[in-house]
Structure formats: C-alpha cells, structure tokens
Structure 1
Amino acid sequence: MDPNGSRSLLSKEHLIYTITVPLSTSIILANLLIIVGIAWNRQLHNTTNYFFLSLLVADMFTGVALPFIPLMGLNRDLSFSSCLLAHVFPNFLFLAFLFNLVMVHYERFVCIVDPLHYSNLWMHRHFPLALLVVWTPPLLFASLPAFGWNDWAGPDWTHCCESSQNLTLLSNCSVNRTICCSYRRVFTDAFIYLEVYGIVLPAILIIAAMTGHVLRITRGQMKDICRLHRAVDRGGQASDQEHRLNLRYTRCVVAVSLTFLACWVPYLIYMHVCVAFLISDSSWSSTAHIVMSCIGIGSMAVVPLVLGLANKQYTEPAFKLLQKFRDRWRRSAKRAEEVSL
C-alpha cells in the first residue's frame, strides 16, 4: 500500500475525530440532560413533550453518528456490508432527526396558529402513527441503496483498489474480499439530488416559514395587547409594560435569527458545496471540506438543544438531580475527611 496515501487517509480520519468527538460528546450529554429532565417531571408527560422526546432521541443518535458522517467523503477499504452500513445507517439517523424536527415545529406551529383545534390534531389522536411517519420514511429512503439503487456496477470512482501501479494492494483487496468504499458507489447522483433538493432543503424551508409565521402572529398579538393597555390607561404614551413587551419580542427575534445563522447557515453552505463538488466531479476530501462537513452537521444537531435548554421546565429537574448528587458527594467527602482526622 502507498505509504503516502495511507498517511493521508489516517491524517484525515484523525482530523475528523478531533473535531467531531468533542462535539458529539457534548450533543449526547446535553440531550441526556434534557431527556432526564422530561422523564423526571411527571407534569411534562404529555403528547407534546413526547414528540420533543422523540426529537431528542433522534438528535442523540445523530450525535452518535456525527463522527461517521464526514467519513463518507473518504475512500476506505471495507467489505460490501460494512460499506453499506457505514453510509446507510448514518444517513437514516440524519433524516430521522430532520423529520422529527419538522414534526415538532409543525406541532408547535398549529398550537399557536389554531389553538382551539390543537387537541384534535391527528398527531395527538394517533401518536403511534405520528412516530411511524417520522421514523419509517427516513429508514425506507436511506435503505434504497441497499435494495439496488446504487452504483456498484459503475466505474470505480475511488483510488485504493484501482491503481495499476499498486498490484499488491489490488491483490489484498481481492483476498480480503473488500472493496474500495466510496459514497459514489453507495449513492447515485439522482439519489443525492433527490435527498438534498427533494427532502432536506424543503424541510429547512418549511421550518423557516413556520417560524417566520409564528413571529408575525406573535407581533400581531403583542400589538393587540398594547392597544388594550392604551385603551385602559386612556393615554397615547407607551407604558413601561409595552416597552417590556417590545423588548421581549426583539430579544425573541434576535435569538431566532442568531440560531438560524449559527445552526442552519453553516449546514446550508456545506450542503451546496457538496453538490457543487459532485457536479464538478472533484475530490471532496480536502481539509477544508472535512472541517465544513463536521461543522455543518454538528451545527444543525444543536437546534433541538437550543429549544430544550431554553425551557426551564426541561432543564430544572435535571439540574436539581445533579445538585443532589453534588450535595451527596460533598457530604461523603466531608465525612471521609472527618474520619481521617
């Protein structure tokens, strides 16, 4: 095997793990914190929070799969089944996370837009069906390459078993019954275009549209409240409460905007850069693209954490539990100190 190629592959894998492992660990721990908070507080055991719990579980799995998603851009010597699993399973977890995110936004959108019919939503009346909707289609779509929609019979896009100058490596690949695993073998161009522009991008636009509509409704309701206050006070000047409402709304808009810029924009840039490199048929495993893929996927996985950590109902039980453990640890340490004295 070419030592330079091997060192290059190892350095790229090391870079991916260096970026993604700390980020993945943080995502998993933060999701576990919110999950414990929901499970600990029985008042939060309702359908709305069950949807959010499903999103947290999907996000936690996405955190687990996060180090493996950028590895799809590298050409590795793997067996047929391992190659399929290394591409299909992370893709399924990512799509399940995205479907859960859309479902949570839609459920909260209906709660604000049409609160009178909120309890009659089909998602509330048929909760198991709603879970099937957010988990089964991603699994079916992500599994299509395993059922034949792939490019195994196409030209060898990769470099680890194709070089005529390295017959030893080619022989090793044959003896070990491995293939040069590349995302181009697993995912056809049509599959990638369909996923990006038929599923992922529309889902992001739907979430953005629902969020914008909720902000407009909130703005209109706030104006109605301000008019009522002015009518009661019989004055034309804005009261302190109106200023506080305006300030709260402004903070909400700023928070939503910053969340979109910090979490969604990096992923959108990464997604379109990937498609551009796919069209140009260029190598995409450079350092810049690895960093972009790690940051892009990781930033989008932070969105549920922003929604969860901003709600004290979710975090307060977990913090109380952690405080109890901390107090017990301090008491035990103090007793151990007294015994030693």
Structure 2
Amino acid sequence: MMDSNDSHALLSGEHLIYAITIPLSTSIILANLVIIMGIAWNRQLHNTPNYFFLSLLVADLCTGVALPFIPLMGLNRELSFSSCLVAHIFPNFLFLAFLLNLVMVHYERYICIVDPLHYNNLWMHRSFPLALLVVWTPPLLYASLPAFGWNNWTGPDWNGCCASTTLLSNCSENRTTCCSYRRVFPNAFIYLEVYGLVLPAILTIAGMTGRVLWITRGQLKDICRLHRSVERGSQASDQEQRLNLRYTRCVVAVSLTFLACWVPYLIYMHVCIGFLISDTRGNSTTHIVLSCAGIGSMAVVPLVLGLVNRQYTEPAYKLVQKLRDRWRTQGSEEVAV
C-alpha cells in the first residue's frame, strides 16, 4: 500500500487535474452539442462537407469526455494490467482520431478552394463510409499496439517508475500495481506518435491554412484590380478598403487561433519529450498545467470553426431568444397582476 505522503501527492495531483479539466471539459462538451444540434436540425446542412465536420465534432466531443483522463497518464497509479492499458489506450485513441478528423476537414476545405472544379469528384465524396474508416480505424489500430505486445510492462528496471514525483511504496514488490505511461508506451512508440503522426499533422494543417490565405490574398488583389479598371481610378475605393480590412481581420483571427490553440500544445509536447529524454518527470504541477492547457486548447479548434458559422449556431440562438422572450412575457404578466 502507499504511505500517507505518497497518497497525498497522488490525490493532490488528481485534484489539480480535475479542477482544471472538469470546467474545460464541460464547456467543450456543451459547445459541441450545440453545434451538432444545429447541424442536425437544419436540413440544408445535411451534405457531405458537413458530415465530415460532424465527424470532427463527435471526435472533439469524445476528446472533451476523455480530457480529464489524459493528464492522469502522467501520474503513477495502482492499476491492474488490463485497467492500465484501457486508461492509456482509449484516451490516446480518441486524441489521435480527433487529430485525423481535423486534418480531413482542413483537407476537404483546402481542395474546395484550391481545386474547386474537381471538388465534387473527391474520393471522400464518392465514398463517405471509406473516409470515416480512414479517420477512425488507423488511430484505433495504432493506439492498440501496446495491447498487442508493444509495451514495457515486463521491463527489468522500474526505479524510474517508483522514484518519480508520485511514489508507490510497493512498486518493487508487486510490479502489476504500478501503472505508468512508461510501462504502457515504449520510447519508440512515443517518438513515432509525436514526430511521425502528431507533428506532421499539425504542420499539414498549418501549411494548408497558409496556402488558403495566400490564394485568398491573390484573389483579393485580382478583384481590386478589376474594380479599379471598371472605375478607371488609381485610388483605392471604399469597397477595396473594406475587402482589405476583412482579409486582415481574417489573417489576424487565424494567427490568434493558431497561437492560442496550437502553440500551448506544441510547448507541452516538446516539454514531455524533454522529460522523456532526460529520464525525469520534472515538476508535477508544471506538467499537469501544461498537459491540461495543451490538450484543452487544441480541442477548442473545432469549436472556433463551428461557432463562427451562423448556420451552425442559429438554432441555439433562436432557442435562447424564445426562452428570453418567454421569460420577459412572464415577467410583464406578473408585474401587471
């Protein structure tokens, strides 16, 4: 059994994780439900592009549910072999599925802008079930590799597991009680996931977004040039200034979204790799805060994409407006009485 100091350290870490992730997880779940209901209620949105986005929202909803459990991977806990595998594999699968869904949605919209003539002939549109298999099955297969033997559960030396910030007094006596991410995920597995899957996916999303902004800037210049030729003037008109201002706001919004949503996760990811290379856990509080902020900020990306679309949020807005009008009507009737 753990001694009192070890138990207190574990409980304090868990309390900190729940204090940070529960409000964030609740917000992510509710926001996703609002957008999902907006798509479900509006029949005009029942098309393939929105089905891809709906798949992303479902993955983001699942990530919001699993959000409190992801930072718990950094704590050593007393779990059996099967429970330890589930506690690590399932959240990792949801995270990878969310990331691949995000890449698919960006790719679908990227092709719509870059090559609109061949947009409707995309393989994703011709075979939507196959596209769903592509974004959900590979993450499940890769995340399940530790369950098929690629793990460190029978490693010869677990002093690192027992001597970290959260100590287990009986770790050396009964290894099955020490559940650590180091026992489930070998170093090669972590390196492959970070630098072979996660980082390329993030760079791909950033590259497609930058390419779309560059194309949009070129189209804006063509519109302004055409407008000047029609107006036969050399000065920028009010309409051109509004277009330039709108484009500038778009660039600023995309940049701020990247800084707020992706940079915290990139910092967290490289800090974790640094701890892994140096074979130390560092400060547990810092690690917990970074993990919660990194995973949580990335899960906000689909919500930003959905909430800026009025078609997705219009049903919720109308519902709130009806409730507000009903509340005002009841209030006026009570005052009249």
Q: Which amino acid aligns with 1:186?
A: V
Which of residues 229, 234, 237 is equivalent to 1:236? 234
Counterpart residue number, 1:282: 280
Counterpart residue number, 1:261: 259
Query: How far apart, in 2, do the equivalents of 1:187 and 1:318 lie?
Result: 42
Whether the 8 Å CA contact 1:73–1:285 is kept in 2: the answer is no
Query: How far apart, in 1, do the equivalents of 2:126 and 2:151 lie?
Result: 39
Counterpart residue number, 1:223: 221
Counterpart residue number, 1:318: 316
Query: How far apart, in 2, do the equivalents of 1:166 and 1:54 lie?
Result: 44
Counterpart residue number, 2:99: 98
Q: Which amino acid aligns with 2:102?
A: L
> When the two structures are superposed, what TM-score results if normalisation uses the length of structure 1?
0.92
**What percentage of aligned pairs have identical amino acids?**
78
> Is 1:16 equivalent to 2:17 in the alignment?
yes
Aligned pairs (5 A) from 1:101-140 = 101-140=102-141
TM-aligned CA distance change 1:62 to 1:113, over 3 Å: same
Counterpart residue number, 1:87: 88
Counterpart residue number, 2:161: 158
Q: Secondary structure at the match of 2:277?
A: helix
Whether the 8 Å CA contact 1:219–1:249 is kept in 2: the answer is yes
Counterpart residue number, 2:207: 209
- Aligned pair count reads 332
Query: How far apart, in 2, do the equivalents of 1:166 and 1:124 lie?
Result: 56
Question: Residues 205-249 of structure 1: CA distance to partner in whole angstroms, max 9, x if unpaired?
Answer: 000000000000000000000001000000111111100010001
- Structure 1 unpaired stretches of 5+: none
Question: Residues 261-283 of structure 1: CA distance to partner in whole angstroms, max 9, x if unpaired?
Answer: 00000000000000010000002
Which of residues 170, 192, 195 is equivalent to 1:194? 192
Aligned pairs (5 A) from 1:299-338 = 299-328=297-326, 337=334
Whether the 8 Å CA contact 1:74–1:285 is kept in 2: the answer is no
Question: Residues 112-171 of structure 1: CA distance to partner in whole angstroms, max 9, x if unpaired?
Answer: 0011111111000000000000000000000000110000110224229xxxx956x877
Query: How far apart, in 2, do the equivalents of 1:141 and 1:183 lie?
Result: 16
Q: CA deviation at 1:330?
A: 5.6
> When the two structures are superposed, what TM-score results if normalisation uses the length of structure 2?
0.93
Whether the 8 Å CA contact 1:84–1:186 is kept in 2: the answer is yes
> Is 1:294 equivalent to 2:292 in the alignment?
yes
Q: Secondary structure at the match of 2:262?
A: helix
Query: How far apart, in 2, do the equivalents of 1:75 and 1:284 lie?
Result: 14
Q: Which amino acid aligns with 2:313?
A: T
Counterpart residue number, 1:37: 38
Q: Secondary structure at the match of 2:65?
A: helix
Q: Which amino acid aligns with 2:191?
A: Y
- Structure 2 unpaired stretches of 5+: none
Whether the 8 Å CA contact 2:29–2:61 is kept in 1: the answer is yes
Query: How far apart, in 2, do the equivalents of 1:329 and 1:196 lie?
Result: 51
> Is 1:64 equivalent to 2:65 in the alignment?
yes
